[in-house]
Amino acid sequence: MTSVLYDEPGPRARRRARIATVVGLLLILALVAVAVRRLDERGQFERELWAPLIDPSDETFPRVWELIGQGVVATLTAAGLAIAASIVVGILLGTARMLTGRAGRVPIVGFIELFRGLPVIITIVFVWRAFEELGIDIGFLPGDDGLWYLVIGLTLYNSVIIAEILRAGVQSLPSGQREAALAVGMSERTTMRLVLLPQAFRVMLPALISQLVVVLKDTSLAALVALYTETLRTGQRLYQTLDNPIQVLFVIGVLFIVVNYTLSKIAVWVERRLSRSTTTSGDAAAVKAAGGAGSIG
């Protein structure tokens, strides 16, 4: 087999790759074995440490999972609000950058580059302290103030990323799409709204979904400054009470993996569904055109 992207490895290269894979797996298994042995020597597999998390007969089990459930709901709430706001603001920023002139584009580009370069945790803390120091009251919004500090911080960071993803998606389209729309009398805004953006969304869907998974994971940064009681913050409170940090953090990590894996699978399903619908629409249009040509003939 040949590929236009790279040269297919020969027999020796494949043999070396297999050997490297086996050696890597053996090293990983050895490290896992050492870690398990160390944990066992320190009593980290004792029933008392795991029972509140895995044994329904334990008296603290219902309360522990009730608190974890509340933390998961809080995480999903913050992530949902941040995702919705990031998409809306990101689309506005991306389209504004592409439609405005050079002079009007400067502040937009400056805003995007500023928040692209800042770490997410700094953006969240900046929003929190700025609102507190300036005395901006957001008590009219539902939920805790910490929830909205987190949502606004995540929105500022992720909206500029989404704006760049959108711009890249539009620029990846053939230039003839825009030129044809302008040739039939559409304005720049109408061309962007009706022709370019719908196609760009399909192109950027994988990158967009990946960024939304990042938003979900970044909600845990609020626990570093005790800003909002989401899943990780709930876990911190639990292991401080139960004195089993490794066990609680292990369960919290598994929960994040399950949720993110589910989102990734949903993204794959949506992408395939859109691709299938696009192909079906194209085939139907081709059949219709062929039928029309046959009638004319």
Q: What is the DSSP letter of 222?
A: G
Cα 54 to Cα 78, 191, 243, 251: the distances in Å are 27, 56, 16, 10
The pTM for the full model equals 0.79
pLDDT of residue 7: 64
Longest dimension (CA), the chain: 85
pLDDT of 285 = 43
pLDDT of residue 193: 83
Ranges under pLDDT 70 in the chain: 1-7, 275, 277-297
Helix ranges (DSSP H) in the chain? 11-41, 47-54, 61-99, 102-117, 120-134, 145-171, 175-183, 188-191, 197-218, 231-242, 245-296
pLDDT of the residue at 278: 56
Residues 6+ away with beta carbon under 8 Å from 214? 158
The per-residue b/e assignment along 173-183, b for 16 or more CB within 10 angstroms, e otherwise, is eeeeebeebee
Query: Which CATH homologous superfamily contains domain 77-227?
Result: MetI-like (1.10.3720.10)
* Phi-psi domain of 8 (left: phi exceeds 0; alpha: psi -120 through 50; beta: other): beta
The pLDDT of residue 223: 86
